[in-house]
Amino acid sequence: MTLQKLTNSNKLTPQQEQFIELYCDNESKLTQQEIANALGVSRKTVSRWKNDPGPVRTEIEKKEKLRALGLLSLANNAMEDILQNGRHFLMAKLMLKRGTP
């Protein structure tokens, strides 16, 4: 394999980039056939992009990890808020019991 083929094999076509965006968009929940129709390719092509190892699959995995990390971060922030508010609630409750203003 030539150097040109090696460097080009990791580049995404505009259709592949659009596929990644559509596939990873959790809100639209498009089927492979709907994505294929929107991109003007066959469902088989979309399936191959999604399942075959290569740059498309790599990008999908990156996006899925980033989404998971984002959700994990949101969950951690929510837990910190709950714990912080819980501390404030307990402190206020103790102050009321003691009669401290």
pTM: 0.59
pLDDT at residue number 16: 94
pLDDT at residue number 5: 41
Angle (nearest 5°) at CA 47 between 31 and 59:
95
What percent helix, strand, coil does the chain show, rounded to 5? Answer: 75, 0, 25
Q: What is the pLDDT along the chain (101 residues), one digit of tens a residue?
A: 443 343 345 689 999 999 998 998 867 789 999 999 999 999 999 999 999 999 999 999 988 888 888 776 777 777 777 777 766 666 777 777 777 55
